[in-house]
Amino acid sequence: MRLTPEAGRPVALGSIDLFDPDLLASGDPHSVWDVMRSEAPLHRQVLPDGRVFWSVTRYEDVCRVLGDHRAFTSERGTVFTQLGADDIAAGKLLTSTDPPRHTEVRRAIGGRLTARAVAHWQDLVRRAVVRFLEPALDGGCWDLAERAQQLPLIIAGSLLGIPESDWEKLVQLTGMVTAPSDPMFGLGSEAATLAIAHHEIFDYLSDLVRRRRSAGTGGDSLLDHLMTVRAGAGPLPDEEVVYDSYSLILGANATTPHTLSGIVLTLVEWPEQCDKVRADPSLIPSMVEEGLRWTSAACNFMRYATVDTRLTGGTVPAGEAVVAWIASANRDESQFTDPHTFDVTRGENRHVAFGFGPHYCIGAPLARMTARIFFEELFRLFWSIEIDGEPQHLRSNFIAGMTHLPVVTRKRAQV
C-alpha cells in the first residue's frame, strides 16, 4: 500500500470496501482513512453475504475499543479473517481471552519478555541479524522482504527451542494464517488455507509439547517456561501451552519482517531522513519508533461490542464487530504533528503499533530490540541501499506489508 497518501485524491466512502485485501495490497488506504477520520469516524459496512462490521479510525476511539475489554470483548475473534465466526480458541489463546484470565496468563509468562529480560538475548539477536545480512555483502540484487520473513523465526524459534529444521515450515504456515488470499501463501480458498494452516501448526506444537513432556528434562527455552508456569489456580494446561506458543510465533512472524522491510523502503523514499541516521546512529531507536508508527504492520484489530456503546459518530450495537484501524490512528492529526511526514527525530511518539490496553503486544520489547539491532547492523555494514525493482505488497486485510522488495546494498569499505 502507499505509505504516503496521494495528496488531493478524491475518496468516495460509499464505494470503499474496507474488507477488500486489495485496499492494502495495491491501494491508497491512508487517503481513505484521512477522510474517514474527518467525515465518518464510525463507519458501518455490510458485506455481500450479510456480515456487518463497524470501523473506528480516530486515535481516541481506537484506544477506547482496544482498551475497554468490558465493552469490547476479544473472545469472539480479533482479526478480520474471523469475522462472523466465533473464535474456537476463546479463553485458551492469550489474544482471544479477556481479563481476568488474560491477566493471569500474561503475568505468568510476561516476566520472560520484559525489556530487562530480553536484554540478555541481545547477543543472540545480533548473531541472527548478522547471519541474515552476511550474504548481502557479496553485492548484487537480493529480495529483502522475502528473506526478512525468515528473520523473526530465527530469533523466536531459538528462544522457544524449536528445531531449526522446522523454521521454514512455520514461516509458511504463519503466512497462510495472516494472508490467506495472497498468492504466496494461499492454497485454494481463504477458508481452506486457514483451516490447513491452523491444523498443521497446532498439530506440530502439540506434538512438540508431548515430546518435551515425555523427555522429562527441563530446559531454559520459552516453551519450557510455558510448560512450568502457574496461572491462576494451577499450571497452564498443555492445550493453553500450545495456543500461547502459537500466539508468540504468529506475533513475531506476522509483523516484524514487514516492519523492517517497510522501514527500509521508507528510508529510500525519504533520503534526507536516512542521511540523518547515517550521520548520527544514536537516532536509530527514534527512527525505529517512527518506523513502527509509519508502517503499522498490524493494520487493525477486531473486537465485538458487549453492550450498546457510544463512540465518536454514533453507537455500536451490542453483539456487532468493531475494527480498530491502528494504521489510521497512527496518522491522526489530533495526536501527531504532520502525521504524513516521516521524521526520525520525532519527539513524543505515542503510537499504537503494538496495540493498546490489556492486549498490548507482549513481545514488544523483543520486537523493538530486534529492529534496533537490525538497523544498527544495516548501517554498520552498508553504505547505501537502493531499490532495484517494483515492491510487491502483501494481499491481506489485516497485515500491511510486502512479499518482495528487491534491493542493492553497497557495503562499507572497511567491512
- Grid coordinates representing 352 are 499504537
Mean pLDDT rounded to a whole number for the chain: 92
pLDDT for the residue 85: 87
Name the residue among 376, 114, 135, 141 with its Cα closest to residue 263.
376
Mapped onto helix, strand or coil, the DSSP state of residue 229 is: coil
Distance between CA atoms of residues 122 and 125, nearest Å? 5
Rg of the chain, C-alpha, whole Å: 21
Distance between CA atoms of residues 376 and 284, nearest Å? 7
Residue 273: strand pairing partners: none
What's the half-sphere exposure (Cβ side, CA atoms, 13 Å) at 247? 26
pLDDT at 218 over 70: no
pLDDT for the residue 363: 92
Q: What angle do CA 202, 206, 211 make, to 5 degrees?
A: 150
Reported as a single tens digit per residue, the pLDDT across 246-274 is: 998 888 888 999 999 999 999 999 999 99
- CB-CB contact of 155 with 255 (8 Å): no
Reported as a single tens digit per residue, the pLDDT across 352-399 is: 999 999 999 999 999 999 999 999 999 999 999 999 999 999 999 999
The 406-411 sheet, strands edge to edge: 141-143, 406-411, 382-387
Distance between CA atoms of residues 128 and 152, nearest Å? 9
| Report for 12-16, 176-180, 254-258, 355-359: range of highest mean pLDDT | 355-359
- CB-CB contact of 329 with 63 (8 Å): yes
Count of other CB atoms within 10 angstroms of residue 85: 12
* Cis peptide bond upstream of 100, omega within 30: yes
Mean of pLDDT values over 398-410: 94
pLDDT for the residue 267: 96
Rounded to 10 degrees, the C-alpha dihedral 125/126/132/135 comes to -160
- CB-CB contact of 321 with 75 (8 Å): no
pLDDT for the residue 232: 80
Distance between CA atoms of residues 137 and 150, nearest Å? 18
Residue 198 neighbours by CB under 8 Å, 6+ apart: 177
Q: What angle do CA 232, 234, 240 make, to 5 degrees?
A: 85
pLDDT for the residue 415: 60
Reported as a single tens digit per residue, the pLDDT across 66-102 is: 999 999 999 999 998 889 888 888 888 899 999 999 9
Share of the chain above pLDDT 70, in %: 99
- CB-CB contact of 309 with 71 (8 Å): yes
Strands 52-56 and 321-325: parallel
Q: What's the longest Cα–Cα distance across the chain? A: 64
Delineate the domains of the chain, giving CATH numbers in brackets.
19-411 (1.10.630.10)
Residue 303: strand pairing partners: 322
Amino acid in position 284: I
Stated pTM of the model: 0.94
pLDDT at 342 over 90: yes
